[in-house]
Amino acid sequence: MKLTFILLMLATAVNAQPINYSGGNGDGSFVAILIDNGSLYSNGFSDGASTAEYKSSGSVYRGGSFDGFNTSNLYNPNSFYAGADSDGFSTDVAYFYFVWDGSTGTGWNIASNWQTNAIPTEERRVRIPAGVPSFPYLNSGTLKVGSDTGTGTFQAKEIIIEPGALMIARINNFIENYGLICIEGVLELRNSNPLAFRNLNEATLLIKSGGELRTNY
Amino acid sequence: MQFFKRTIFTISLLTCLSSIIWGNNVQVSNVSFNPIGNAGQITFDISWENSWRQGINDQYHDAVWVFVKFAPNGGPQWLHADIQVTSSGSNIEVLEPNDLKGAFIRRANQGMGTVPVSSVTFDVNNNTGLYPDFKVFAIEMVYIPQGPFYLGDGASDGRFHVGNDVNQPYLVTNSAALKIGTSSTEINSLVNTPPIDIPATYPNGYDAFYCMKYEVTQGQYIEFLHTLDRGQQNNHTATDISGTNITNVYVMLNSTTNLGRRQGIKCPAILTTSSPVEFYCDFDNDNIGNEINDGQNIITRHVNDDDYYAYLDWAALRPMTELEYEKACRGPLPPVANEMAWGSTVFTNFNTLDITNPGSPDESVSQAGTSAGIISNNSATTASMRAGFAATPSSSRTLSGAGYYGVLDLSGNGNEVTISAATTGSLHFTGVLGDGMLDPQGLANEADWQGRSEMIRGLLSTGSNHTVSDRFSSGGLGSPRIDIGAIRGVRQF
């Protein structure tokens, strides 16, 4: 009696969720395994490896790839899958920046003008913030920005001049950018030589909204 | 009676799974480091959409594998951090592995939906040196719970089967050794038969593990390259990037152009002499990198053995075995002859003209959402697609092409590289996890992984199209970079 009840319940479940094997939208949420008379798996339920879980005499199988075995699709009408940016991966970075503090004066190559109390080299990312006692003045020589650029009088891997900040390249100074210079404040070029500032090797000069590159000197 | 018990068991599983959804869009942001002595604490925010945690003992859930790299003294060398959680937001639960090489983060309670932005802080146990840079990486994973499952489907090429019947799938009921033989209690296979019994130390899929939800994308591979020095990078690109003038700027193809191969990882034409290369994606070949349609979310192919193992070691994951692959696809369900990862033989081929929004974060095909089992016809122009390209806001398992637990693209898109059970050497693989560190050449250095051979699964082959149980293609990726495999890792917890 109990067995019959379970059978009835199962049959009801199948009938209530019709299975569509043609791959359309009517996929049932109930998985049944169809038994096909020509199936390799028609040898009963007791061998421990049978795939025949439910024999549906009232199968709604309607053709398609007739392989004798099939499952219904797992249909989830309430899926929240957004369908975009689904690469399952993200990364974020926190770089260490050498931050200018200008507590001693305007000299780039003076360690005490940097929060780290060390002079940046070509491996270092640099930030020039606003609100410091003095801003950096680059005197004669070349500022080389970017890794593996060879010796420069002044060096950094990347420079960010923050809003309200100022960096001045004086009349005898040259800048070669192989990396990234981002201007959110002001970069003032006082050398009128056409080669006073060069972007090289696909370097990036980024002047953000509000940033200024002053060259009329 | 056994029949009814099994049927009811199946029904209960499906009741749990019927509302499972496929998570995506993991985001890590606001990374900060607070130095404390020689080490310190790292804090970041994490969120993702469409998470789930359901079932008895949370047997159905997704999670995010997070790990941290740091570069003392500004690099170029990036080292793997050992981390221990100190605090986390109330929306998430942090699971710490014993090796401290990262952590799994899952939603705090049972349910589903978006995990809102949550802050988490870890102690960094390493001496981070002067002026360290930090990178946090997050990879979406799917939990594959412990439990029995079937190997073989009675139909696919080279399939596993019960020893005395090539048509009967073999039921794995525990993690003990599997005896090879011809009796009804032993396992065997049509071809590539294990030459020895499958040892208990070889991960046979019974025990639980986490599996990457998607294959490694091009944006993801670039981030891997960006933690390597120049020489190491050169060992993971097809183009020789040791010089300063590069002609074949599409570095995974060793080509001047993308040529429709959908592999858009590119380097500048002029390089410095020795510093690491800054790669970018330029899928549309317009010389403007990392635009919205530059294919960052398309899977990376044209990888070789060295790339595959190195990525997994670097990410502190490990390769999956071919038995684990069948578990991830089929789950506990009975096999279906010639089924693909979505549990059905139904499939829909697409061609180049069917691709919509090529290279974009929502790249898909016109059949998505309406056709079951969408797979490429395996031409060069369609073989690599956005990870999870077939899934839509309302897609079912078959429509999205998901495995039983929600892993995407197990059949189709890139083929799956697995540790083979066909050779004695590979059967001695014990599932040692990567430690995050590579050798000086940038190669994997896990002794447990050396000398293993691979079985390519989910492969398009004659007679069995991307089927779960096809194991005809042994031998793996080899050294030449050909358009075969992709990268997907697993990790036990």
Q: How far A120 CA lies from chain B's nearest CA (Å)?
A: 11
Interfacial B residues in 65-94 facing A (CB < 8 Å): 73-76
Mutate to test the interface with B, among A8, A72, A78, A90 (most CBs of B within 10 A): A90
- Which residues of A are less than 8 Å from B26 in CB distance? 88-90
Closest CA to B224 of B487, B460, B456: B487
Q: What are the Cα distances from residue A43, in Å, to A38, A52, A53, B167, B188?
A: 11, 9, 12, 11, 20
Interfacial B residues in 139-168 facing A (CB < 8 Å): 139-140, 150, 154-155, 162, 165, 167-168
C-alpha to C-alpha distance for B23 and B26, rounded to whole angstroms: 8
B243/A contact by beta carbon, under 8 A? no
Mutate to test the interface with B, among A3, A36, A74 (most CBs of B within 10 A): A74
Which among B3, B11, B133 has CB closest to A95?
Answer: B133
* Domain residue extents for chain A: 1-95, 98-214
For residue A167, the model assigns a pLDDT of 97
C-alpha to C-alpha distance for B313 and B317, rounded to whole angstroms: 6
Asked if B346's CB is within 8 angstroms of A64's CB, the reply is yes
The tokens of B101 are what? 């090489």
Q: How far A32 CA lies from chain B's nearest CA (Å)?
A: 9
B174/A contact by beta carbon, under 8 A? no
Mutate to test the interface with B, among A79, A124, A145 (most CBs of B within 10 A): A79
- Strands in B397-463 per DSSP E: 416-419, 454-457, 460-461
For residue B367, the model assigns a pLDDT of 93
For residue B478, the model assigns a pLDDT of 67
Which among A33, A74, A96 has CB closest to B133?
Answer: A96
Question: How many residues belong to chain A?
Answer: 217
C-alpha to C-alpha distance for B367 and A118, rounded to whole angstroms: 59
Which among B22, B296, B362 has CB closest to A84?
Answer: B362
* Domain residue extents for chain B: 6-144, 145-217+298-493, 218-296
For B486, residues 6+ apart whose C-beta sits below 8 A from its C-beta are B215, B216, B299, B300, B301, B303, B384, B413, B414, B415, B416, B417
B50/A contact by beta carbon, under 8 A? yes
Which among A23, A52, A125 has CB closest to B346?
Answer: A23
Find the farthest-apart pair of alpha carbons in chain B and give their distance in angstroms, rounded.
73
C-alpha to C-alpha distance for B472 and B489, rounded to whole angstroms: 21
For residue A123, the model assigns a pLDDT of 87
- Summarised one tens digit per residue, pLDDT across range B396-405 is 888 888 899 9
For B380, residues 6+ apart whose C-beta sits below 8 A from its C-beta are B259, B260, B261, B262, B483
3-state secondary structure B25-68: EEEEEEEEEEEECCEEEEEEEEEEEEEEEECHHHCEEEEEEEEE
Q: How far A217 CA lies from chain B's nearest CA (Å)?
A: 32
For A148, which DSSP code? T
Give the pLDDT of chain A (217 residues) as one tens digit per residue: 343 333 333 333 333 333 333 322 333 222 333 333 333 333 333 333 333 333 333 333 323 332 333 333 333 333 323 333 446 888 889 999 999 999 999 999 999 999 999 999 988 999 999 999 999 999 999 999 987 777 899 999 999 999 999 999 999 999 999 999 999 999 999 999 999 999 987 789 999 999 999 987 6
For residue B415, the model assigns a pLDDT of 87
Asked if A157's CB is within 8 angstroms of B346's CB, the reply is no
Residues of chain B with pLDDT under 50: 1-23, 462-463
